[in-house]
Amino acid sequence: MNYDFNQDIEEIIEKLKGDNISFEGKTILVTGGAGFLGSWVCDVLVKQNAYCICLDNLTSGQPKNIIHLMKKSNFRFINHDISYPIYFGMSYHPLGI
């Protein structure tokens, strides 16, 4: 099955805009971001100009779900198992300090 999800993603973005919800300029961490649902979330965030950090160990998620995002400047993939601690530098501090 090869379904084109682009129209669905655009509808989600328009719905968010209608509800005055924007992620533009925000840094968002998506765990399981290479999975079916997580990759949708990553798509929406990238298209809304958020900086999207996709964290996935690819146990069930698949690179093909996010490969189209890999060259985007506002997307970063980290291959990591969330059951183990991960440390981010100060640039990822939620308050931006």
**Mean pLDDT within 10-20:** 80
Q: Where are the domains of the chain?
A: 23-81
- pLDDT tens per residue across span 44-54: 999 999 999 99
Burial of residue 45 (CB within 10 Å: 0-12, 13-18, 19+) is buried
Pick the CATH number of 23-81 from 3.30.70.260, 3.60.110.10, 3.40.50.720, 3.90.79.10: 3.40.50.720
pLDDT (0 to 100) of residue 97: 46
Q: What is the mean pLDDT of residues 64-92?
A: 89
Q: Tell me the residue type at 10.
A: E
Q: Where are the alpha helices (DSSP H) in the chain?
A: 6-18, 36-47
Average pLDDT over residues 56-83: 96
**Rounded to two decimals, what is the model's pTM?**
0.78
- Residue 93: the pLDDT is 53
- Count helices and strands (H / E) in the chain: 2, 3
